[in-house]
Amino acid sequence: MTPSDNTAANFASDDAQVGVQGIVHGDVYYYAVAPDSPADKKFEIGVRFLEGGAAGRGLRLIDEAVASGYVTNQVCFYWPLAMVSGRTRRELSAQEAARLRGSDRFLPLSGDDSWADGVRTIRRLLDAAEKPDVDVRRLMMELDELRPTQRIMILRHMELFLDGSIKDQLWHLTLRDACKQQKAGSRQDRVWKFFQPEPAAPLVRQPEQPTVPGATWLRAVAGTLVSVPATAHIGLLLVQGGRVSALLAYLLSIIGGCFAARAGLEWRFRSGRRQAMDEAYAPAPRPSTDTPPDRLARRIDHQLAYYLAKYMPNGMDREVWLTWTAGIRRRIRDEVADAYRDMGFKVDAFNWLIRRRAAEVARRWDNGRLWSYRRELATPRRTMATAVLGAMALAAGGAWAVSGALQTGGPAGIPSVVLAVAAGWIAGSAWLQIALERRRHNADISDFKKLSAECDMAYDLWKKRLADKPDDGEMAAWLDCDRKVLLDEALRHYRLKMSDVVAYAFIEARNGSATRARIQGGPWRYRKYEMKIFLITADGVRQCNARLHFADGTFQDRNRLNYRFEAVTAVHVRQADDNSHTFELSLMDGQKITAQMIGPELEENQESEDPEEVSEVSLDAAGLRHTLHVLEGVAAEGKAWMTRERRRGANGLDDPGCPAA
């Protein structure tokens, strides 16, 4: 076989996972809560939203649980964290500030446990932020002695809220824990699993049932009913004539015919099946199958081309490899498309099967077994010899027997000879067609069972490999650690202490076409992020940008931008008709700083989800609420905002400048 030179294929690169536009995991119980759910369920889901970065939704659910009378030490711990998470004191309304100050009255502690210890530490931190003479070192020691669960949550959610003398010490502990937790939990080995859809069970195309036309059956039965009596009559004539030698030739022809029929059937089946597979595996595209017949087949074909190129043997040219495997790709594409066409699955659900089939092609090439069917279907010489010798015995013995019958019976034997030969030929060719079709079906059944067993085994292995997929809370925790590590880089670059920063804000947006996924009801997570951090200092705005490769928590393409307060003219979020949300910050010189917060809704919306709620949760988790508060203040008031913000921070929760609810 010689591959053609005019093969073209499209490939995905980097994070552009072919065929996957947006994965929504069906973990319906992770974030799902009904209006009539019990209070403890609402609290549980509220905590999950808080851990996932959507503090606004989390606070509402925890508030509903408290309003229903559900108060435990754990509730007392998470409620103030949900209230202050991702916010400064200026962002609290007067009513919220009053509730936070008086939380010990409607959230009383009961007994001593690790949650109660955490609650006491939270309340002391809130008090210390308003008392300049507090013993910060003792308070930090108390915080550091908490169990990791409580300490990490406090540091994560109170980071923006606390100010004053405690700010630098709290940042030191926060950064220490962030660096320690950034790669925890086998992050590099597990993050990619979050972006894998729930795999669809393996399906293999069912073999075609034997199809024998009625006319063929008629020829076989009629020919047999005619040829058998005619052949028996020839034998009877030989017995009546006492022609022993002709009778022996007669028996030899029958035995030879049986051996020839059996060996010939095997020979014909093997050669025909090998020829059919040669045509199916032919490298050169066939006009009838050059273009996939429908959208599903085209998507599968695209995926196969991508994975075949990915698993290409070492030293092989890509175009040559894809040309050599063009026929195999067509065969696999048609098999998979036929199996899943009416099942309602998207391609990404059985993408694991496509990848496995492509990898198997590469392995068979490496093992020298890609075209092993040619050896397996080659007809053994013994079978060929049996077929030839049997046919010769049939012809020679038959001729001798016919001659003897004609000599014995005279003209009366002619009709039997003619009918035996003609009807035998008709019956033999019909029975051959029937037998070949049954052999084809049996061989297809055998291949089907073998492929099904292999796919079932691969499916079980893939399910086990995805068993430790991280939940949304883990994804959010890792992302929060990345943000803090990048913030520390910015502080060190500008030689700033945390107390030198009046306020800071961040944007976590999707980078380009990076793969995205989310749990039903939760925010979008991305393989790659465009991170933007805005530091508000006495000298202006310090902006740091970096591209985050989320799988391993590494940053690339760092760049920085500095501008005065007065340079910021506007900041807003633009929502397009396709439900994409883009953050835009305009500078006086006409420059626009943009980030796509939510990409176009390319996947079908889940019937049980409200797109607006999904957008709200995603934007909240991406830090938009606090970022807009900070940058809108800078755009509206300029440097005066920074001065007022510092004064408000010093005044604490009693700041009369807090807006009304």
Lowest-pLDDT choice from 90-99, 160-169, 446-455: 160-169
Sign of the CA dihedral running 642, 643, 647, 648: negative
Instruction: State the angle between helix axes of 214-241 and 414-465 in degrees (0 to 180), rounded to the nearest 10.
Output: 140
Helix (H/G/I), strand (E/B), else coil: 589: coil
Q: Provide the pLDDT confidence category of residue 659 given band limits of 50, 70 and 90.
A: very low
pTM for this structure? 0.80
Structure token digits, residue 473: 């809370």
Among the listed ranges 414-418, 582-586, 626-630, 653-657, which one has the minimum average pLDDT value?
653-657
Look at residue 481 in the predicted model and tell me its pLDDT: 94
Strand partners, 586: 570, 592
Backbone CA torsion sign across 167, 170, 175, 176: positive
Place of tokens 């995805």: 466
Give the model's pLDDT for residue 646.
Answer: 65
pLDDT digits (tens, 9 = 90+) for 164-173: 678 888 899 9
Of the two residues 448 and 661, the one the predictor is more confident about is: 448
Beta strands in 576-623 (DSSP E): 581-587, 592-598
- Which residue ranges make up each domain of the chain? 25-157, 471-654
| pLDDT recorded at residue 16 | 41
pLDDT of residue 243: 80
Residue partners of 56: CB distance under 8 A and separation at least 6: 616, 620, 625
Range of lowest pLDDT (6-15, 183-192, 403-412, 503-512): 6-15
Other beta carbons within 10 Å of 43? 27
> From CA 194, how far away is CA 187, in angstroms rounded?
11
